[in-house]
A = this chain, B = another copy of it.
């Protein structure tokens, strides 16, 4: 896990702070650092083998992105678990942005992106045989890729960045409640893909709306268990 300084130039070109950032980001996404738990600078110094400065800089960036919070003279912690209130707000926002983006994507769709989306879809459908843990983790990654690729084609980078940012929190939430949400989503994605194939903006918008609304219903059960 330690960062190998012997890599020399290639590593230093990016800067240690960037490396530390990537490591911490990944740990947060994989829940190796549980939501709400403390993150001490000294521990990271020992664990990663770098000095405090790049670690503080990386934590500062994560703080700016809302993934960690800081209390004066207490230190950093991973951001707390998403609340039910926040969950509802997140889906309201997705419903405003993604159906619109799906429409745009349908109108701008290229054959390259379409085949790329089909490949993602194929990979998803082949996950059924894997173990539950591995399956869910892969599914989450592929689902993120599907939506992100669509947003790239839709053409509004600001919307794409905004949702990518929110997706991080969303992802952490989903990982905690390992709901079995894989199979249904595949059918819904197929409907979206079909609309993309026909360059049918109306159909794409509606299909995406259905997809997100149903996703919300599926995950909402996690709060009631």
Contact = CB atoms under 8 A, between A and B. Distances in A.
Interface string A35-77: 0000000000000000001001111111111000010110000
Interface in A2-25: 12-15, 17-18
Interface residues of A, number: 34
A33 to B, nearest CB: 17
The binding surface of chain A is classed by DSSP as helix
A124 B137 CA distance: 52
Contact of A166 (B15, B17, B53, B158): B158
A162 B159 contact: no
Interface of A: 12-15, 17-18, 53, 56-65, 70, 72-73, 86, 89-90, 92-93, 96-97, 100, 156-159, 162, 166
Given A61-B64, A93-B97, 15 more contacts: A18-B72, A57-B57, A57-B60, A60-B63, A65-B65, A89-B156, A89-B157, A89-B159, A90-B158, A93-B156, A93-B158, A93-B159, A96-B96, A97-B97, A162-B162
